[in-house]
Amino acid sequence: LLQQNLTSNDDKVLQRLPYISLNGYHPLEEVLGVNLRLTDQLKYTRFSRKENYDGSKLELYEKLTKPFYFGKYLEGSVYTDARLTKYSLSNTVVSKDSNGQVESSLPSSSDRLLPGIGGSVGTTFEKVVSSEALPVLKYLGELGQSGRYFEIAKFKHTLEPSLGYRFIAKANQKDNPDFLDGDRLRNRNIGTINLTQRWFAKLQGRDENLYGESDLAPRAEDVQPPSLLDSLESDFMPNSSTSMTPIRDRSGIREMANFSISQPYDFNRSRVDYTLNDRGQKIDQNGNYVSTFPWIATKLTGSLFLNEYLALRARYDYNLEDSRIETYKIDEQFTTKRG
């Protein structure tokens, strides 16, 4: 991977070659007799730059999760994780003065360990209505080839509130190189409020002789998701428990739409020690600008899968602290089988 600024000279032009990642998932219930899940990831990256330091990065991430349930009312999980990173530099120079003398440099070898804990808990409220109560949605959902063999019998609307918490311990990273965004990880002490809504459709087979093609009518479990959904960008998926991929199972249930909002609260920012400079700006003891505004962002995601002709996804991240939009994306795709 080559990253380069195309509009100006950038001393931090770098290449990542090679980049190797190994991922693992291990259910431990059969081994330990306890419902635990272990996930791990091992990554190696070699960085090469025209200017300043370069070298390699080896990182191991381990996460142990314990799911739990409280009857039919609550479900959630708690987890602990750790990220261990090892840096080895072949060039340690950070900057030089006008005479070419080294002003600052990094150690040839450094590491860091970032332990953390987290968890989430939530519930689901459901309401089922007949498809006859929503005729327009029923009509739109049955458009396409699959509508010849299946009809929507019922709709289900779910409301899924949840709470989350994430803590990452502080670590001294001053001797670590800063190649990419993941090389400077901040201490986290964040709670999150989430609300997700989903709309599902229950499919049932039509009369097999309706079109005189009984031998062509597939079973519900043989119908595959529309292929156009697979072509949308995979990196548009949010890093949260709310997936923007439509949920489908083999019993004729199809997710038609979902919408979620997430609001994180930073507990650390309400306890930051600061002073005011001559401009009235908040600074900490090291002279860095700080903010005590705890509601740090608002994240909105949504997707629409009415039928096999239309797919729409959207994402919106607004930084409340800086009063600016960080991310907004809209992916849409239309397809037709005519001609």
The most confident of the ranges 95-99, 180-184, 293-297 is: 95-99
Q: Between 158 and 209, whose confidence is greater?
A: 158
pLDDT band for 36, please (50, 70, 90 cuts): very high
Sign of the C-alpha dihedral, residues 128, 130, 135, 138?
A: positive
Query: In whole angstroms, what is the distance from residue 11 CA to residue 52 CA?
Result: 8
Question: What is the pLDDT at residue 290?
Answer: 60
Sign of the C-alpha dihedral, residues 321, 323, 326, 330?
A: positive
Q: What is the mean pLDDT of residues 37-64?
A: 89
Token pair in block for residue 161? 């509130």
Quick: pLDDT tens for 236-277.
333 333 444 454 444 488 888 899 998 888 887 766 677 777
Say whether pLDDT at 228 is over 80: no
Question: What is the pLDDT at residue 222?
Answer: 46
pLDDT, the chain, mean: 76
pTM check: above 0.85 = no
Q: Between 51 and 137, whose confidence is greater?
A: 137
Quick: pLDDT tens for 73-121.
899 999 999 999 999 998 888 877 777 777 788 899 999 999 999 999 9
Question: What is the pLDDT at residue 128?
Answer: 93
Question: What is the pLDDT at residue 210?
Answer: 53
Which amino acid type is present at position 282?
A: K
Contact 116, 167 (CB under 8 A): yes
Query: In whole angstroms, what is the distance from residue 218 CA to residue 12 CA?
Result: 57
Say whether pLDDT at 287 is over 70: no
Question: What is the pLDDT at residue 88?
Answer: 93
Measured CA to CA in angstroms, residue 156 lies from 181, 236, 253 at distances of 41, 26, 10
End-to-end Cα, the chain, rounded Å: 40
The Cβ of residue 278 has, within 10 Å, a number of other Cβ atoms equal to: 5
β-bridge partners, 89: 55
- Whether a cis peptide bond, with omega within 30° of 0, leads into 18 is yes
Of 150, 161, 159, 268, nearest in space to 217 by CA: 150
